[in-house]
Structures are given as C-alpha cells and as structure tokens.
C-alpha cells in the first residue's frame, strides 16, 4: 500500500506541550539517532523521517510547536491536516501534565474522535527523584482517553525511538483498517470510531 507507488506515505505529526518539557529535544534525539536521516542544518522545528517497520515504511513529518502559554490560543492552526499528535509533559511538573490535558481537549474540539492518533509522553525520567506525576497517573489518564502512553528521557535517550515507532505502527494499522473496510465495500463508514479497546501501554 504505502510502498506501492515508490515513495512512503507521509504522515503529519504535531508535537504539543508546554514550554520546557522537552518537545524539541525529544524530536531532535529521535532524528539524530538515525544516522541515515539528514540532520536539520539550521533549525529543529520541522523534521521529516522515514520510519521503516519491516513490512512497510512511512514518512513522518514532525511539526514542532511553540509551547509558551501565550501562544496556546493560536496553536490550533498547526492541527490542520495532522494525522498524529504527541502530547508531551514533564514528569517533574504537575502543571505541564495539566497543560497536556488541556491540549487534548483542544485536539478533541478540532477533530472527530479517532481521526488523529494521540500519544501521551511523560518526559525527563532521568529526574525521577523530583517526580510530581506518577507513572500510574499518566497511564490512567491515557487509558481513560484511549491514548497511547510512554515515559521517556530525551536526555538519556531512553525509549525515544520506541515512542515514534509505536506511533508509526498505530498509524499504519489505522490505514490498513480503513483500506480493509473500503475493500469490503463497507458503506456504513465507521472510520471515525476510536481505537479498539483500551490503549496499549508500551512502557511495560
């Protein structure tokens, strides 16, 4: 499917989260790790990366957004045409976790349920002694809203690649599901239903 016409299918991924939670570091770490990808020469706000998942591959287009509070009201402009969103919070800041929930509400206002793959990411596990948000809290919130969930450390490069591969896998699965439905001639379009069952937790 994606490879049928040569170039892998592009997917747009928006990085959301308040300032200083490590959105950019997460993306930069991910893109840097892959020696095949071309490093951005000047800015690290927009990246593209081809994710190879064995059977198929896809092209992730990562859009970084400004996280400062004052830009919150205009950030919905970034959402247009997005396929996935990464909600990043800092595990040492309760406030950033609450902000992430706000972002989710914004996303839900903009998209019908299930249209975008959303993943909640608790960053900075290297600072776990200052932790303010427990793993369980994050997981529970993710489950109740059918989000993917992981905790990472961009600094120590812990589980960063896994975040993006999990996201890519979910994206591909949804495309395949849609295609299968289309092939079956399923006229009762159920494309907009949320992901099946509870969210898969990839952290443990």
Bridge-partner residues for 9, per DSSP? 58
Binding flags for other proteins, 11-30, as an x/- string (CB under 8 A): -x--x---x---xx---x--
Which region among 57-65, 84-92, 113-121, 135-143 touches other proteins (by CB under 8 A)? Answer: 57-65
Question: Quick one: tokens of 146?
Answer: 């059918």
Nearer to other proteins, 4 or 187 (CB): 4
Question: Quick one: tokens of 126?
Answer: 């290297």
Three-state DSSP at 60 gives strand
Strands 46-52 and 57-64 turn out to be antiparallel
43 binds other proteins (CB under 8 A): yes
109 binds other proteins (CB under 8 A): no
What is the CA angle 76-81-82, rounded to 5?
Answer: 75
> What is the distance between the alpha carbons of residues 164 and 32, in angstroms, rounded to a whole number?
13
Nearer to other proteins, 81 or 185 (CB): 81
Binding interface with other proteins (CB under 8 A) = 5-7, 10, 12, 15, 19, 23-24, 28, 40, 42-46, 48, 61, 63-68, 70-71, 73-75, 77-78, 80-81
């Amino acid at each position: 499917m994606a490879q049928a016409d040569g170039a892998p299918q592009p997917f747009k991924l928006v990085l959301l989260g308040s300032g200083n939670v490590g959105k950019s570091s997460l993306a930069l770490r991910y893109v840097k790790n892959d020696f095949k990808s071309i490093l951005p020469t000047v800015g690290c706000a927009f990246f593209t990366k081809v994710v190879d998942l064995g059977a198929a591959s896809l092209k992730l287009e990562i859009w970084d957004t400004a996280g400062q509070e004052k830009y919150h009201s205009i950030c919905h402009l970034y959402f247009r045409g997005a396929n996935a969103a990464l909600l990043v919070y800092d595990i040492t800041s309760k406030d950033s976790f609450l902000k992430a929930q706000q972002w989710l509400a914004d996303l839900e206002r903009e998209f019908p349920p299930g249209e975008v793959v959303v993943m909640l990411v608790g960053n900075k596990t290297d600072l776990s002694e200052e932790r303010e948000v427990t793993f369980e809290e994050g997981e529970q919130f993710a489950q109740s809203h059918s989000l993917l969930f992981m905790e990472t450390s961009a600094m120590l490069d812990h589980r960063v690649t896994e975040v993006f591969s999990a996201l890519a896998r979910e994206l591909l699965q949804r495309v395949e599901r849609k295609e299968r439905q289309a092939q079956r001639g399923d006229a009762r379009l159920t494309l907009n239903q949320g992901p099946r069952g509870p969210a898969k937790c990839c952290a443990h």
